């Protein structure tokens, strides 16, 4: 457990991606099975404990510490596990710290009522750093700036050329912690594990943002255009071994969308956009949001937020791998497959006809529908390549909308921003009054954050727990991708993807935008 805690601490403080990969590789090289496989699972987010949850940790902390002091500490530290690790009383015990396999086994096997004592015993036997590793393991989400993908790149390096990251990616979902066959393969002690018919995730092909200088190099005749929908990119996999719905990041999100998987009566691997669609109209992203990050879903939610997949691409038709084919051929196969299969809860992403790049620019500028983010441009001749190959696919987002709003409240951020006031609520004028229209917590530079943080501390007019109300005098230019009606906000409007694009210290608050200006941007 100490080696794992040290790894996490070093990963957190290491800036460079390559340095992180080196740390992971070194860990895999020096730690035994099954420790290293369990650490790998933890970093990749594949360890789940049915009974040990964040609530358990909160209860434990409350039983050992003053709840009011705990709340104030949590507000400052901004992270539950770290707060508990730091606030936990240093006790005098001679018990040795537990090992990682011991911890994982005990968390899997211990009945829920006995967990608090077990975890408390571990916390008593460890220092703050190991306590934090333990608690992060229980709550999930290590947040050390290392992902499953990064770990698989480190594994590829660890294999000394036996496997590329994408080779590992393709067998990954057929394996389970502690990944003994995987390490055996990577160390040359065994053959590559055969995913056989397991419904594994295939690394998706991703797009680059289209930069102005790219436009001159585009050849319109070799380009295909589609709408870029504002949903989430998904991969639907159906094989004799099972059916899965994966997010772009290889996360298995099947449980949240049972109706999609139940409707599957074919074998294929499909790439598309997950959307809420009502009567043929794509609903705004906020509707889809209601369905995300759920472990289960009720019939009411399914009925009110009906989901569908708008198909972009076909990777496998049955067992036939179509990825080496050029886009046009895959598209023909997709249309043919769609006509043949008529799958429920799916439709095809339309190809947009155009002749010149100027046409496209006009189409992009004219797209006002809330659920359209812009255009996707794809090279007609390119095979389906994993990762983000250069010069094959582009996303050409609609220019963002902007408003000049007034800063109303600020709150300390969480995670790495926990020391600064980095969550900003801003408002627009409605008559003589400023009404809040949204919150933004990114878009600014580090220097701007420092400036804002200081400004807020010096212009606080009231404090409500972690929130500070400030003098209504600072104008922020807020960029956003769209606006829609909302009953959740007092202003009746919700912004999509708001971020701080500029500090308008030159502009007096009285000249900030009015709510009516924003209302005009709402479609329909």
Partner 1 sequence: MTAPHPDTWLTPMPAGLYCAPGDFFIDPLRPVPRAIITHAHSDHARPGHEAVLASPATLALMRARLGEGAGRTQQPLAWGERLTINDVTIFLQPAGHVLGSAQIAIEYRGSRAVISGDYKRQPDVTCDPFTPIPCDVFVTEATFALPVFRHPPAQGEIAKLLASVKLFPERTHVIGCYSLGKTQRLIALLRQAGWDEPIYMHGALAPMCEIYEAHGIPLGELRPATVAAKKDLVGRIVLAPPSAIADRWARRLAEPVVCMASGWMRVRQRAKQGGVELPLVISDHADWHELNRTIDEVGAPEVWVTHGSEEALIHEIAKRGIKGRPLRLIGYGEEDGS
Site for partner 1 contains 87 (CB under 8 A): yes
Cβ closest to partner 1, residue 418 vs residue 486? 418
CB of 412 to partner 1, least distance (A): 11
Report the interhelical angle of 80-87 vs 128-139 (nearest 10°): 150
| Alpha-carbon gap, residue 151 to 172, rounded angstroms | 11
Site for partner 1 contains 78 (CB under 8 A): yes
CB of 69 to partner 1, least distance (A): 5
End-to-end CA distance of the chain: 57
Which one among 20, 31, 56, 79 touches partner 1, defined by CB under 8 A?
Answer: 79
Site for partner 1 contains 9 (CB under 8 A): yes
Which one among 2, 12, 198, 522 touches partner 1, defined by CB under 8 A?
Answer: 12
Cβ closest to partner 1, residue 66 vs residue 320? 66
Beta strands in 169-306 (DSSP E): 208-209, 223-229, 232-239, 242-247, 268-278, 281-282
- Beta bridge mates, 321: 316
Which one among 22, 26, 53, 72 touches partner 1, defined by CB under 8 A?
Answer: 72
Count of positions (residues) in the chain: 524
Q: Which SS3 state, helix, strand or coil, does residue 244 take? A: strand
User: Which stretches within 97-248 are classed as H helix?
Assistant: 100-109, 115-124, 128-139, 148-158, 165-172, 180-186
Q: Residue 275, exposed/middle/buried by CB under 10 A (0-12, 13-18, 19+)?
A: buried
Cβ closest to partner 1, residue 82 vs residue 170? 82
Which one among 14, 254, 286, 501 touches partner 1, defined by CB under 8 A?
Answer: 14
Q: Which SS3 state, helix, strand or coil, does residue 212 take? A: helix
Site for partner 1 contains 2 (CB under 8 A): no
Looking at residues 121 to 160 of the shown chain, list those that interact with partner 1 (rule: CB under 8 A): 132
CB of 160 to partner 1, least distance (A): 25
Kindly indicate which of the ranges 83-91, 148-156, 388-396, 516-524 contains the residues binding partner 1, using the contact rule CB under 8 A: 83-91
Looking at residues 429 to 458 of the shown chain, list those that interact with partner 1 (rule: CB under 8 A): 458
**Which contacts (CB < 8 Å, 24+ apart) does range 515-521 have?**
515/428, 515/429, 515/430, 515/435, 515/437, 515/491, 517/403, 517/428, 518/403, 518/428, 518/437, 518/483, 518/491, 518/493, 519/493, 521/401, 521/482, 521/483
| Alpha-carbon gap, residue 150 to 166, rounded angstroms | 11
**Do residues 462 and 471 lie in contact, with contact meaning Cβ atoms separated by under 8 Å?**
no
| 228 catalytically annotated | yes
The CA distances from residue 376 to 224, 253, 358, 396, in Å, are 8, 24, 15, 6
Which one among 39, 40, 60, 82 touches partner 1, defined by CB under 8 A?
Answer: 82
- In degrees and rounded to multiples of 5, residue 261 shows phi and psi of -75, -35
CB of 487 to partner 1, least distance (A): 34
Looking at residues 199 to 258 of the shown chain, list those that interact with partner 1 (rule: CB under 8 A): none
CB of 460 to partner 1, least distance (A): 8
Kindly indicate which of the ranges 277-285, 417-425, 470-478, 484-492 contains the residues binding partner 1, using the contact rule CB under 8 A: 417-425
Q: Are strands 242-247 and 401-412 parallel, antiparallel or unpaired?
A: unpaired
| Alpha-carbon gap, residue 244 to 199, rounded angstroms | 6
Q: Is it true that the peptide bond before 322 is cis, omega within 30 degrees of 0?
A: no
Largest CA distance in the chain: 76
Kindly indicate which of the ranges 26-34, 111-119, 413-421, 476-484 contains the residues binding partner 1, using the contact rule CB under 8 A: 413-421
CB of 7 to partner 1, least distance (A): 14
Site for partner 1 contains 26 (CB under 8 A): no
Site for partner 1 contains 420 (CB under 8 A): yes
Task: Give 460-506 as a DSSP string.
Answer: EEEEETTEEEE-TT-EEEEEESEEEE-SSSTTSEEEES-EEEEEETT
Cβ closest to partner 1, residue 24 vs residue 377? 24
Kindly indicate which of the ranges 63-71, 152-160, 226-234, 251-259 contains the residues binding partner 1, using the contact rule CB under 8 A: 63-71
Number of residues that bind partner 1 (CB under 8 A): 28
**Do residues 428 and 514 lie in contact, with contact meaning Cβ atoms separated by under 8 Å?**
yes
Which one among 162, 192, 417, 485 touches partner 1, defined by CB under 8 A?
Answer: 417
Cβ closest to partner 1, residue 240 vs residue 415? 415
CA atoms within 13 A on the CB side of 347: 13
Looking at residues 458 to 477 of the shown chain, list those that interact with partner 1 (rule: CB under 8 A): 458
Kindly indicate which of the ranges 43-51, 414-422, 496-504, 512-520 contains the residues binding partner 1, using the contact rule CB under 8 A: 414-422
- Annotated active-site residue in 20, 228, 378, 392: 228
Cβ closest to partner 1, residue 15 vs residue 221? 15
Active site members: 228
Residues lying near partner 1 in the complex (CB under 8 A) are found at 9, 12-15, 65-66, 68-69, 72-73, 76-79, 82-83, 86-87, 90, 132, 415-420, 458
């Amino acid at each position: 457990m100490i080696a794992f805690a040290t790894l996490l601490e070093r990963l957190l403080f290491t800036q460079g991606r390559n340095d992180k990969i080196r740390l992971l590789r070194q860990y895999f090289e020096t730690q035994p099975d099954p420790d290293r496989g369990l650490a790998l699972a933890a970093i990749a987010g594949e360890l789940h404990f049915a009974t040990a949850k964040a609530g358990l940790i909160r209860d434990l902390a409350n039983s050992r510490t003053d709840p009011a002091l705990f709340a104030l500490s949590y507000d400052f530290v901004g992270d539950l596990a770290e707060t508990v690790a730091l606030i936990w009383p240093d006790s005098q015990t001679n018990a040795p710290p537990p090992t990682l396999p011991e911890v994982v086994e005990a968390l899997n096997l211990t009945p829920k009522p006995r967990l608090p004592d077990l975890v408390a015993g571990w916390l008593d036997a460890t220092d703050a750093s190991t306590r934090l590793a333990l608690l992060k393991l229980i709550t999930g989400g290590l947040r050390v700036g290392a992902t499953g993908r990064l770990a698989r790149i480190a594994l590829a390096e660890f294999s000394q050329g036996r496997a590329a990251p994408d080779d590992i990616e393709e067998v990954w979902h057929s394996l389970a912690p502690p990944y003994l066959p995987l390490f055996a393969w990577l160390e040359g002690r065994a053959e590559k594990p055969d995913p056989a018919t397991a419904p594994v995730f295939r690394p998706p092909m991703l797009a680059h943002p289209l930069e102005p200088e790219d436009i001159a190099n585009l050849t319109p005749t070799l380009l295909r255009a589609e709408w870029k929908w504002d949903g989430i990119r998904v991969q639907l996999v159906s094989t004799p071994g099972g059916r899965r719905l994966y997010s772009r990041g290889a996360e298995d999100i099947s449980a949240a969308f049972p109706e999609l998987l139940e409707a599957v009566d074919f074998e294929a691997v499909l790439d598309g956009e997950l959307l809420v669609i009502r009567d043929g109209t794509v609903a705004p992203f906020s509707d889809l949001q209601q369905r995300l990050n759920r472990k289960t879903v009720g019939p009411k939610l399914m009925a009110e937020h009906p989901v569908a997949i708008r198909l972009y691409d076909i990777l496998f038709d049955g067992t036939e791998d179509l990825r080496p084919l050029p886009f046009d051929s895959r598209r023909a196969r997709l249309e043919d497959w769609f006509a043949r299969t008529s799958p429920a809860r799916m439709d095809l992403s339309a190809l947009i006809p155009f002749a010149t790049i100027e046409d496209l620019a006009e189409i992009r500028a004219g797209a006002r529908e809330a659920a359209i983010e812009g255009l996707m441009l794809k090279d007609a001749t390119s095979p389906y390549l994993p990762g983000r190959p250069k010069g094959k696919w582009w996303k050409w987002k609609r220019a963002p909308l902007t408003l000049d709003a007034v800063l109303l409240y600020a709150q300390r951020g969480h995670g790495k921003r926990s020391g600064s006031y980095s969550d900003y609520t801003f408002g627009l004028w409605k008559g003589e009054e400023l009404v809040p229209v949204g919150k933004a917590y990114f878009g600014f530079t580090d220097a701007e954050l420092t400036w804002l943080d200081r400004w807020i501390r010096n212009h606080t007019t009231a404090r409500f727990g972690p929130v500070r109300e400030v003098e209504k005098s600072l104008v922020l230019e807020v960029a956003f991708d769209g606006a829609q009606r909302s009953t959740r906000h007092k202003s009746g409007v919700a912004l999509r993807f708001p971020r701080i694009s500029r500090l308008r210290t030159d502009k007096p608050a009285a000249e900030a935008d009015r709510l009516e200006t924003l209302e005009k941007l709402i479609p329909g």
